Structure 1
């Protein structure tokens, strides 16, 4: 098998696993069902991955890698624009979330472990991005919270969960984000 075909087969496995993890949940998805979804033999799945846990890790990395790289480079290039960067962070978080574009899937106990693993990976990857935003905002005196990174993450999580059950406009999201971080009213809203 050529290197290109190997990469394609591995990507097919990752894509099939991603769909199944959301649809059936991590626990109910078997390696055999992943193989079937990718149109490959079960043995080929084990050729690329030692376990279902390793497949999960690759699914999460695959889902978020490009988004995180783009976000990181954009924010690091314009780190003094912390208000714009807060908006970018919020929009990137929504865009990359596993449930945001797969609206046929709902958050259930079965896919909860997949979502939690995604969150843990994503939040670890954006720690340095958060630090840049927080440092600049504190330097400007705009962010005076005791635990700013926790508040940003909790606000993003809360907004996303709210959006899953209610229709929330972009303006409302920005206003809630401003209020939770105790920013000047309309400081984010007027930047969009």
Structure 2
């Protein structure tokens, strides 16, 4: 009996959710596709259906965090309760929170040694 198809977006999120902490703890360079698929409990080949490379996975993680940041910035900009200086301060603070997200994962992924 064939397995039911899973929503591709759900599987992509699962891959990113597995890769992100590995990039943080092991570093981007030391994390392998096998590490990611082992953490997920899936066959190695499955990941290549969604991503061509580890670099594409990193890019997707960065894009996901950027989208979250943009949502926060739009909320700040549209706020009627803050003056322009307060909005600017909130935007800068939001950018730093995104960079420091999950104990600094975006700063500590070990891309540069």
TM-score per shorter chain, which class? 0.7 to 0.9
Matching residue of 1:54: 56
TM-score, with structure 2 as normaliser: 0.77
Matching residue of 2:111: 113
CA distance in structure 2 between the partners assigned to 1:59 and 1:20 by the alignment: 12
Alignment map for 1:1-192 (pairs within 5 Å): 1-4=4-7, 6-75=8-77, 77=78, 81-97=83-99, 99-102=100-103, 111-113=109-111
For structure 1, list consecutive stretches of 5 or more residues without a partner in the other structure: 115-192
CA distance in structure 1 between the partners assigned to 2:59 and 2:66 by the alignment: 11
Higher relative contact order (CA closer than 8 Å, sequence separation 6+): 2
Aligned residues: 107
For structure 2, list consecutive stretches of 5 or more residues without a partner in the other structure: none
TM-score, with structure 1 as normaliser: 0.48
Are the counterparts in 1 of residues 29 and 110 from structure 2 also a CA contact under 8 Å? no
CA RMSD of aligned residues (A): 2.6
- How big is the shift at 1:8? 1.9
Are the counterparts in 1 of residues 76 and 91 from structure 2 also a CA contact under 8 Å? no
Q: Please identify the structure whose Cα radius of gyration is greater.
A: 1
